[in-house]
Every structure is written in C-alpha cells, then in structure tokens.
Structure 1
Amino acid sequence: METTAAFDGLVCTDCGERFDADSVTHECPDCGGILDPSYEYDRIDLGREDLENRPFDGLWRYEELLPIPRASAVTMEEGTTSLVECPSLADELGVSRLFIKDEGRNPTGSFKDRGHALAVSAAREHGASDVALASAGNAGQSAAAYAARAGLNSHVFVPSRANFVNKAMINVHGGDMNVVEGRFSDAAAACVDAMEEEGWYSTNSFSTPYRHEGKKTMLYEIIEQLDWRVPDGIVYPTGGGVGLVGMYKGAQEFEELGLADDVPALYAAQSSGCAPIVEAWDAGADVHEPWAVPDTICGGIEISDPGASPLVLDALDESGGGAVATPDESILDSAVTVAQHTGIEMGATCAAAASGAWELAEQGAFGADDTVVLVNTASANKEADILRSHLMGKGI
C-alpha cells in the first residue's frame, strides 16, 4: 500500500494497539474495535501560506494529512465545496454570521464522496476486486461511482425505502444493488451475511478506517474558508455520526499543527423519531441504547443503532457542543425555509441541521456574536419528492 510520508498506520480506538495498514484493513484484529489512521505530526511541515498557495481543488490539497497520496487516489476532485453565507438566517437565529457548507456540490451529490474517495482508494491499494456496503442511499451511490472509476465491482444493500434517485444511480454506475425489505438495520444485516460468504472488501462506515478520515476535510475547508477563523458552532445532521467523528479529528489536527487556535463546538442534530445519540447525550451516557422503533421520514439519518456512538459522544463533549432532536414536521419546514430564504437546496434529511440550529438557538446555545455553520450533507434533488409532498400536504 503506497502511503504518505507522515502516515504511520492504524490505531484501535478501543484497545490502543497499532497496526500496519498493509496487513490490517478493517476492524481491530485483537478486540474488534474501530481503527483510526495515525500520523507522525512532527513530520508534517504545513502552514497557512502553503495551503493558500495551492489550488482549491479537492481533498488531496491536504495530502500530508491523508493516508494515501494523490498519485494513488481514486478521485473525482470531490470536496472543496462552497461555504455560503446566509445573512437572513443569521438574523433569524440571532447570531452574527451563519453559513451553509453545501456538500450537495460533490460529484454524486453528497458528502459521502469524501469518504469513498479514500475508502475505494484503499480497497484498490489492497488489491480488492469487489467492494460492498449497506447504505440508506447516498453512500451506496457514492460507492458505486468510485468503484466504477477504480475498475472495481460494487455490491450495495439498501432498504426498500431508499429513495429512487439513489437506487437508479447505483444501477447506472454498474453497481449490484440488493434491495432489502425493512429499514437500514435489515440492509446492514443482509450485507454482513453476504460479505461473510463472498469475501468482499467492506466500505461500511467505521468498518473501513478510511471513510471518517475523508470526512475530516470538511473541517479543514470550513476554517480556511472563514479566513482561518474557527466557527463557534457546527451543526451536523446525524445518523451514524461519521462526519462528526471526522471533523473533530480534523479540528484537533489543525490545532496540533498551529493552523487553528481552537476547536469548534460540534452539535449533532437528529429527528425526534430516531434519536439515539440525543437520548444518550441527555442521559449523560457514554454509549447509546438502540432506538426500538425508528419513525422518521429522514431516511438518511434513521440509524437506530450507531456503532460508533462513544466516539460521537466524546466529540460532542470534548468540543463543548451538544445534541438536539426535532420533529420531522419542523425538519421539513426548515428545508423549505432555507430554500425560500437563501436559494440553497437542503434535502429533507439534511435539514435536520437547520431545524436543530433553530432549536439550539431557542435553548440559548449561541451568542449574538457567534459564527455558526450548518452542514448540508446532500443535494435536495435526491429527496425533492418528500419536500414537494410536504408542501402539498399544506395545500401549497
């Protein structure tokens, strides 16, 4: 496996053991814990001026802080998405400045491309011929696209409720799509069974060490786009919490390297119909309890049993952030409000960030001088039918 100079292997987040990335590809072989890419930061010589002098051209502008070099990457110039200021929303929330990080502008229309650029790059480096994962939709489309670019086969297990756009594009990219009756947990179980039989290379979240590693670049970009000012808060629509874990790591790395002087408060936003992270946060627990009966239209964050909840809860706690849940009705209303007040198309699932931000503002989480960023994780085009149905239900 070809790696960057400072990358020095994988560390288990549970037992602390270190492993060589050539021989260990997924979970910790000792305890089954989540593996995290590790770096020798004293070998990284990267300053603000270095980054300012580089093209704003995707993830690999941060090559020193990624495990795989640009020369070996499977990439479609994902990342470096727009950070759009929204003064009218700032006024409504009572903060100084509000921005939306618009991840819908990635190659397949979601932030999942950041993770799969790295995960599929690693799969190819490890000599895999087939990748497989369970997905609520966006990650499956992304995996199929990046596998196609890498010349690999892809196998995607999606719940029957996954949206039409994702299902269609998995097929268009040549993926082997397996529609499983039920919810995401059912698709995940079917995927595990198939992988055990077929020996496919997993790109499931936190099974591969590389998907959360790609997501940390969102944080790098946000700080750069704010002229090196760390925002006071970042609100993120949360299912498994991959992006939160990645962004918290990215913030720590920028602080370690002297590229930022603080860590932003990170907030998880969920639907009240499936909020295991919020429930654990409110209870002061270190790990979630599985959500017994998920009931939300926001399929992308309907993750009833997020396996990395201890890492997510740590990120919220150590960053000084928190967690909030709002009803589907408020989430859908927020998607419409954002579209009508800013022109930005925030999907039904993604609008949990906007709805959550309004609720956090009501709770007094933000100050009048604060700068707040909402992460729009995917294009609204994928869930346009949900938003249109919501409007029709209101007689609009």
Structure 2
Amino acid sequence: METTDAFTGLECRDCESDFDPETGTHRCEDCGGILTPTYDYDEIDVDRETYESRPFDSLWRYHELLPFEPAVAVSMGEGATPAVDCSTLADELGVGRLVIKDEGRNPTGTFKDRGASMAVTAATQHGAEDVVLHSAGNAGQAASAYAGRADLDAHVFLPSRSSFTTKAMVNVHGGDLTVSGGRIGDAAAAADDAIAEHDDWYPLASMVTPYRHEGKKTMLFELVEQLDWTVPDAIVYPTGGGVGLVGMYKAALEWQRLGLIDELPSFYAAQATGCAPIVEAFDAGREQHEPVEHPDTICGGIEIPNPGASRWILESLRETDGGAVATDDDEILDAAIAVAQHEGIEMAPTCAAAASGTWKLAEADEFGPDDTVAIVNTGSGNKDADVLRSHLMSQGV
C-alpha cells in the first residue's frame, strides 16, 4: 500500500484495538466497532503557509493528514467547494455572518464524493475488483462513479424511494443496481445477503469502511481556510448517519493538536422530526440513540433510524458545546426554497434540514449577534427538484 508517512494504522472507536491498514480493512475484528485512521502527529510538519502555498483544487491538498498519497488517489477533483456568504439570511437570523459550504459543487453533486474518493482509493490499494454498498441514493451514485474511474465493478443496493436521478446515474456510471424495498434498511439487508454470497466484494458502506469519514473531514479544513483561518462559532449539519459530522469533528481536533487552530466550532446535528434519533438521545442526555421504529420524513438522505455512529455523533455535539435540533418536513422544504430565492444556492430537501434547523436554533437564541454560523449543504437541489417544485405547487405558486 502507498500510504502517507504519518499514517500509522486503524484504531477501534470502541475497544481501542489497533490494526495494520493492510489487514484491518473494515470493522474491528475484536468487537465489531468502528475503525478510524490514526496518525503520528509528531511526523506532520505543516502550518498555515503550507496550505496557502498550494492550489485550492481538491481535498488531496491535505494529504499529510490523509491515509494515502495523492499519486494513488482515485480522484475527480472532489472538494475545494465554495463557502458562500449569505448576508441576507445572516440579517434574518440575527448573526454576524452566515456561510453555506456548498457541497453540491462536487463531481456527482454531493459531499459523498469526498468519501467515495477515499474509500475507493482504499479498495484499489487492497486489490479489490468489486465494491459493494447500500445507500439512500447519493452515496451509491458517487461509489459507482469512482469505481468506474478505478475500473472496479460496483454493486449498489438502493431503496425504491431513492430519487430517479440517483438510480439512473448508478446505471449510467456502469454500476450494478438492485432496488430493494422502500427504505434504507431494506437495501442494507439485501446488500448483506449479497455480501454473504460474495466474500470477495469490498464493502464501502458508511462506518463499515474506515475511510469515508476520513474523506469528508476535509470539509472542516477547507471551511476554516475559507474563513481566513477563523473557526466558525457554529456548524449546522444535516444528520442521518453523521459520517461528515464526525469527520469534521475529528478534523477540528487534529488541527487543534497541530496548532493550526486554537478552538473548536460548536457542532449542531439537524434532523427531521419524523426521524430524529440523535435529537431524542441528545435531549434525553443519553450516550447512544434508541432506534426509531417508524421513521417518516420526505428527507430520505437523513431518514436513518438506527445510526451506527451515534455515540461518536453525540460526543461531537457535547464536547464542542453544540446541540441537536429537529424540524418538520414543511419547514425543511420552506427553508430550501428560501435559500434558493434569497441566496441562489440550490439545496436538496435532505440538506435543507440544516437550514431549517439553523432558523430554529436562531429563534431559540442559540447564536450571538456577532457569531459566524456555517451551514453544510451536503448536496445539490437538482437531485430532488421535483420534490421542491411540488412543494411550491402545493402552495399555489
């Protein structure tokens, strides 16, 4: 494997067992826990000038804090997305500055490309020929695109509720698509059955591979740089599995350890009221969620009733003095339209949960008048334009 100098291996988040990255490829062999890449931070010699001297062209500019060398990366220039100032919305919210990190500008239109680039790179380094995952939609599209670029076969399992766009693009990218049941749990069960029959397939599911959150952590690096090395007071993230949220939390801890930033942002998980296991656990003071028995939200990307990384998500919220918020579907759709009409940024319904949640947090005086607040728009509104248009039509527009 062609790994970076400081990458030391994988550590289990639960039992703290360590694994060599050549042999420890997915979940912990001892307890089944989540593995995460570890580094020898004493071997990392970077400062602000290091990054300022490099082109702002992809997430791989942060390679010292990534597992693999850029020379072996399966990349399409993912990352380097804009952080758009939204002064009109800042005034409405009563905060000093509001920026939207617009991940809809990635190659396949979502932040999933960051995780796919890293995880498919890992698959190639492990000699895989086939990759497999279940997904609500966007991750399957991204995995198919990057697998095709790496000349790997992708086997993607989606629920029937996934958008036509994501299903179509899995096929367009050459992926082997299976549609199973109505919700993500159905797709996960079908994928597990297929993996049991094909032990040579390399899983790319979130928090099964240790590498998707490692790609997504670069959103934090970019955001801080884009704010002229000022850490935002709050980051609001639309949370289902929470892969990007825990990745950004990990990134903030790493840059703080390296002396690149002094403080951590407060992280907020935004969910839909129809599926809000993280919000319920946070409000109840629990360390882990309780699964939602009957999830019901139009926001399919965050309709994750049983998030496997909930302990890590809740830790990131509490250790940064953040919080969790849930809003109704109508409020989420209204927020997506408001952002599009006032600032021009296209947010998919799932992503707009972060915008809607930000409004609710502001109404609860969670932010100060001088605060800088960042919303992560995890995907383009073009993914679900029909849903947004239907919402407008229901209002007589």
TM-score by length of 1: 1.00
- Partner residue of 2:339? 338
- Partner residue of 1:160? 160
How many Å separate the matches in 2 of 1:252 and 1:167? 36
- 1:161, distance to aligned residue in structure 2 (A): 0.4
How many Å separate the matches in 1 of 2:197 and 2:33? 22
Which amino acid in structure 1 is aligned with residue 159 of structure 2? Answer: P
- 1:362, distance to aligned residue in structure 2 (A): 1.0
Number of residue pairs matched by the alignment: 396
- Partner residue of 1:103? 103
Deviation digits for residues 144-183 of structure 1, max 9, x if unmatched?
Answer: 0000000000000000000000000000000000001120
Aligned ranges for residues 212-223 of structure 1 at < 5 Å? 212-223=213-224
- Partner residue of 1:24? 24
How many Å separate the matches in 1 of 2:258 and 2:62? 13
Query: Secondary structure of the equivalent of 1:350?
Result: helix
How many Å separate the matches in 2 of 1:194 and 1:51? 43
How many Å separate the matches in 1 of 2:288 and 2:368? 29
Deviation digits for residues 14-66 of structure 1, max 9, x if unmatched?
Answer: 00011100011000011110000000001000000010000001011001000
Deviation digits for residues 269-294 of structure 1, max 9, x if unmatched?
Answer: 00001000101011000000000101
Instruction: Tell me which moved more, 177-186 or 98-107.
Output: 177-186
The question of 1:201 aligning with 2:202 is answered yes
Query: Secondary structure of the equivalent of 2:332?
Result: helix
Aligned ranges for residues 35-54 of structure 1 at < 5 Å? 35-54=35-54
How many Å separate the matches in 2 of 1:205 and 1:276? 17
- 1:346, distance to aligned residue in structure 2 (A): 0.9
The question of 1:233 aligning with 2:234 is answered yes
The question of 1:350 aligning with 2:356 is answered no
Deviation digits for residues 182-210 of structure 1, max 9, x if unmatched?
Answer: 20111111111111111210000010000
Which amino acid in structure 1 is aligned with residue 385 of structure 2? Answer: A
- Partner residue of 1:376? 377
Aligned ranges for residues 278-357 of structure 1 at < 5 Å? 278-357=279-358
Which amino acid in structure 1 is aligned with residue 89 of structure 2? Answer: L
Could you list the structure 1 runs, at least 4 aligned residues long, displaced by more than 2 angstroms after superposition: none
How many Å separate the matches in 1 of 2:160 and 2:346? 25
- Partner residue of 1:172? 172
How many Å separate the matches in 2 of 1:260 and 1:308? 26
The question of 1:365 aligning with 2:385 is answered no
Which amino acid in structure 2 is aligned with residue 165 of structure 1? Answer: T
- 1:85, distance to aligned residue in structure 2 (A): 0.1
- Partner residue of 1:91? 91
How many Å separate the matches in 2 of 1:196 and 1:43? 40
- 1:335, distance to aligned residue in structure 2 (A): 0.3
The question of 1:388 aligning with 2:389 is answered yes
- Partner residue of 2:55? 55
The question of 1:81 aligning with 2:81 is answered yes
Query: Secondary structure of the equivalent of 1:357?
Result: helix
- 1:312, distance to aligned residue in structure 2 (A): 0.4
Q: What is the RMSD computed on CA atoms of the aligned residues?
A: 0.5
Query: Secondary structure of the equivalent of 2:350?
Result: coil
How many Å separate the matches in 1 of 2:56 and 2:182? 41
- Partner residue of 1:186? 186
- 1:319, distance to aligned residue in structure 2 (A): 1.1
Query: Secondary structure of the equivalent of 1:16?
Result: coil
- Partner residue of 1:14? 14
How many Å separate the matches in 2 of 1:114 and 1:320? 27
Percent sequence identity over matched residues?
A: 66
How many Å separate the matches in 2 of 1:303 and 1:153? 26
How many Å separate the matches in 1 of 2:274 and 2:220? 28
Which amino acid in structure 1 is aligned with residue 384 of structure 2? Answer: E
How many Å separate the matches in 1 of 2:72 and 2:263? 32
Deviation digits for residues 87-112 of structure 1, max 9, x if unmatched?
Answer: 00001111000000000000000000
- Partner residue of 2:115? 115
How many Å separate the matches in 1 of 2:72 and 2:140? 22
Which amino acid in structure 1 is aligned with residue 347 of structure 2? Answer: M
How many Å separate the matches in 2 of 1:301 and 1:23? 32
How many Å separate the matches in 1 of 2:350 and 2:19? 36
- 1:132, distance to aligned residue in structure 2 (A): 0.4
**Gapped runs of 5+ residues in structure 1?**
none
- Partner residue of 1:243? 244
How many Å separate the matches in 1 of 2:282 and 2:226? 30
Deviation digits for residues 123-149 of structure 1, max 9, x if unmatched?
Answer: 000000000000000000000000000
Instruction: Tell me which moved more, 334-343 or 191-200.
Output: 191-200
- Partner residue of 1:210? 211
How many Å separate the matches in 2 of 1:245 and 1:49? 26
Deviation digits for residues 351-395 of structure 1, max 9, x if unmatched?
Answer: 000000000011111000100000000010001000000001001
How many Å separate the matches in 2 of 1:173 and 1:58? 21
The question of 1:69 aligning with 2:69 is answered yes
How many Å separate the matches in 2 of 1:9 and 1:264? 27
How many Å separate the matches in 2 of 1:225 and 1:245? 20
